[in-house]
Chain A
């Protein structure tokens, strides 16, 4: 009766710029889903969330999201909402992660004042 567990990743928004980020295997944050740490069991998911919890000063609203894995084991989103979060507005391909220069905004910035 083993429940089939879908692989999951932890996603959040960067506190400073709001961009979508994913937790990597070092417990830090990356803007690329391909670099996200993958939880293969519910326990691994909890471990990742446990690492995210104390990081309020860097990210907002961490949560577990389902992913599927391609032949090389890289995660890709299954829900359309998560697909948009990996890209940007579907009506503006020039903006967001899908744009030619997605990293023109610095994440996790200590840059400048407030």
Chain B
């Protein structure tokens, strides 16, 4: 089954936006739960800005009509590192791996909670990066801004195997010292916590500095430096999706070797030769830009 529909990019953007809205929505719902539990709803003007006040009063008007609001508030919680949707735990596979190595134990509920992302990754490959991760959106926008201001990065960083080394070193470090490092450097976890800290008004200096360092390096030196060469989560998803069923494939009879796909590829690959390897994250940008429709998604 060939998929070359350019609407795929629209779907990708919609998914990214809805994931960001979901992350913020869960945080705001949690904040509403805090106010509700503390009977502090009348004091909202003291603590929050007018926009948040408006959002919270809308949530209040909806929730107060429900029969049992506790069910809504208890079953929707969390962030992209580990969340509860409909009372069902969903965690990042990296969180499971990290906790397994640092605590030297396998905890069954955590293993069950990674099943959904694991199955999606085994079928569709590294789509968590390109379709869900809010860090990817931020770095993509940063790269576009950088190119808009005239930084034409000549080449992507060649050290793309770094991320596997970082994954292995991080896991060995967690095993020896029992300190989980990944939640402090992994952008989806970090950005979710940053959004949480921003809305809840807790201190968050170091997290912000780390993200700003990545943004500056990507702005000036290497385009998409973090995702391509550093991210341990991307490495794990790449390895899990090695035998994926959904792949970007090439129809050689149609390819004119114009090189457009190499220019537009976010991961700095040449899709004509490298699209079936573990570095490809199935974002589908090359398919959209291919003039002769030589590149296409194929399931199975």
**Do A and B truly interact?**
no
Chain B residues with a Cβ under 8 A of chain A: none
